[in-house]
Structure 1
Amino acid sequence: MEGYWDVVVSSLQDICNANESISFDNLEFDDKSSTSKKDSLIKRKDLVLKHKENLEKTKRILDTALINVNGLLSQSKSSTPNGKLLKNQKQGRSYYTSNYNPSEPIIVNSEVAFKPKQKHSEWIQCQVLKVFNEYKFEIKDPEPDDNMPNGQHFKCNWKEIIYIPSIDQISSCKNYPVGTKVLARYPETTTFYPAEVIGFTKNGNCRLKFEGEEEVGKETEVERRLVLPFPH
């Protein structure tokens, strides 16, 4: 559920930042000379085109936020008051296990990391739509793109996903030993990258060093449940 909120909040922040950068106040001009007037008209046209492009971008961002709000609503409706599984609800599990993270039960609306089969693909955060059996699933990438505005759906098996613990399971997740190689979601994204555990904060978050980080010595704090066993 936390992943949905991250996308919603970041989407709204992107909208605010984009709309603050352009103002209609600059569309007026007073110079009566023909040359200056022509230049002003060109500038006005460019500014209006920028606004048009910004509105189109805003619509795409709002679509993303709406999809994730719907995900929050559906996840809330599907859960029981005491957090237990519904009767006869199908369950699955992930092939990638560790002593520090649970790998099951994977149910409808569970969050998982998934790596598409395309070459050079990265692990991305997805939502489980269907559990066919213990090893096969249908999942959804909540992030829309130009070709799939409602998010792309995938059929996958248990070796193609890694279970993301729910908020209720955080207390049962033991800390990784320092130096452990893990797969972690990079802040303000829905993509997971290899990282090394450096330590932990007082609130239980992981301090990580991501592979390929350009800034020398940079450590990044990541929520514990979004730090997963590295798929060997």
Structure 2
Amino acid sequence: MDGQWDLVISSLQDIYNANEVIQFDDDLNSKRIQFANLSDEQLQNHLTKFQDHMENVKRAHRLLDAVRVNLDTILGYTPPDSSIQPAHKAAKSQSRKNTAPTGMVYWVSQYNPSEGIQNGSEVAYKPRKGGDGEWFQCEVIKIATDGMKFEVRDPEPDELGKTGKIFKCTWKDIILIPSINTPKSLTPNYPAGSKVLARYPETTTFYPAVVIGSKRDGTCRLRFDGEEEVDKETEVPRRLVLPFPMVSSSPAKK
């Protein structure tokens, strides 16, 4: 049960930290603004602020859902030495066994679908320790019942040709990659100038990039950070261009 308590505390701390950066309360001053009198630049600034506020509220909702799930697990816990289990808890337990868990999405954006993560889902994964600090493509092979812990597998075999390495991670370490069948309405075009995380062609690694524009089929025209060739433009399929994981929280004040 210690793991569930840790997740409850961590989720509540994340909500507190997010509110330190972007207040959940309504901005009363914004309601008094005469938007018709503002310039395009001022309107864009307000739009960005409102979008950040909305994403922050959505993230808080997801964190509260995680708190509820883990509290349900804690409250419904039966000690190992207990041979008798109430009928309603036994039925609930059996129902959970028959239902494959769905993973929750931590990093969300209006430009990326936020449906649950399933076994077999493709994700961008960034190890917390070791590695080069880069995001690379993996496949989800196991989801914990709380929907916040995962096992993912590197699709690339090692130098000996063996199955790719398996990593244990949390929902904060992965970003959902839209499936090939995701409706285009759930993956709208990014505005020019957007900061994104995109898979570099002929690799499984994701790097920061800036959107230059989009083609009719949704393919993104990008400029990757750190390219040796100045102003080099690279085209990447839309589903492999993810919202850049912006950290909306900061360490809590002591």
TM tier, smaller: 0.5 to 0.7
Q: Which runs of 4 or more aligned residues in structure 1 lie more than 6 Å from their structure 2 counterparts after TM superposition?
A: none
What residue identity is the alignment partner of 1:157? T
C-alpha displacement at 1:149, in angstroms?
2.0
- 8 Å Cα contact 1:113/1:192 also seen in 2: yes
Return 5+ residue gaps in structure 2 as ranges.
Answer: 1-97, 247-254
- 8 Å Cα contact 2:190/2:214 also seen in 1: no
Among residues 152, 155, 166, which one is paired with 1:142 in the alignment? 155
- 8 Å Cα contact 1:92/1:107 also seen in 2: yes
Describe the shift of the 1:156–1:149 C-alpha distance in structure 2 as closer, same or farther (beyond 3 A). same
C-alpha displacement at 1:147, in angstroms?
6.6
- 8 Å Cα contact 1:142/1:151 also seen in 2: yes
2:190 paired with 1:179:
no
C-alpha displacement at 1:92, in angstroms?
0.9
- 8 Å Cα contact 2:215/2:221 also seen in 1: yes
- 8 Å Cα contact 2:198/2:206 also seen in 1: yes
Give me the whole-angstrom Cα distance separating, in 2, the residues matched to 1:214 and 1:150. 33
2:123 paired with 1:126:
no
Matched position secondary structure for 1:218: coil
What are the equivalent positions in structure 2 for 1:1-232 lying under 5 Å apart?
88-116=99-127, 117-118=129-130, 120-132=132-144, 133-146=146-159, 149-171=162-184, 172-232=186-246
The residue aligned with 2:249 is: none
C-alpha displacement at 1:102, in angstroms?
1.2
Return 5+ residue gaps in structure 1 as ranges.
Answer: 1-86
- 8 Å Cα contact 1:112/1:161 also seen in 2: yes
Q: TM-score, normalised by structure 2?
A: 0.55
String of CA shifts for 1:89-128, please: whole Å, max 9, x gaps.
2111221110110133100000000011215331000000
String of CA shifts for 1:127-185, please: whole Å, max 9, x gaps.
00011132111110011223772110011000000000011114121111110100000
Give me the whole-angstrom Cα distance separating, in 2, the residues matched to 1:124 and 1:185. 8
- 8 Å Cα contact 1:92/1:104 also seen in 2: no
- 8 Å Cα contact 1:170/1:225 also seen in 2: no
Give me the whole-angstrom Cα distance separating, in 2, the residues matched to 1:225 and 1:193. 14
C-alpha displacement at 1:208, in angstroms?
0.4
Give me the whole-angstrom Cα distance separating, in 2, the residues matched to 1:143 and 1:164. 17
The residue aligned with 2:56 is: none
- 8 Å Cα contact 2:192/2:213 also seen in 1: yes
Give me the whole-angstrom Cα distance separating, in 2, the residues matched to 1:228 and 1:168. 16
Give me the whole-angstrom Cα distance separating, in 1, the residues matched to 2:116 and 2:187. 15
Percent of aligned pairs sharing the same letter? 60
Give me the whole-angstrom Cα distance separating, in 2, the residues matched to 1:178 and 1:108. 33
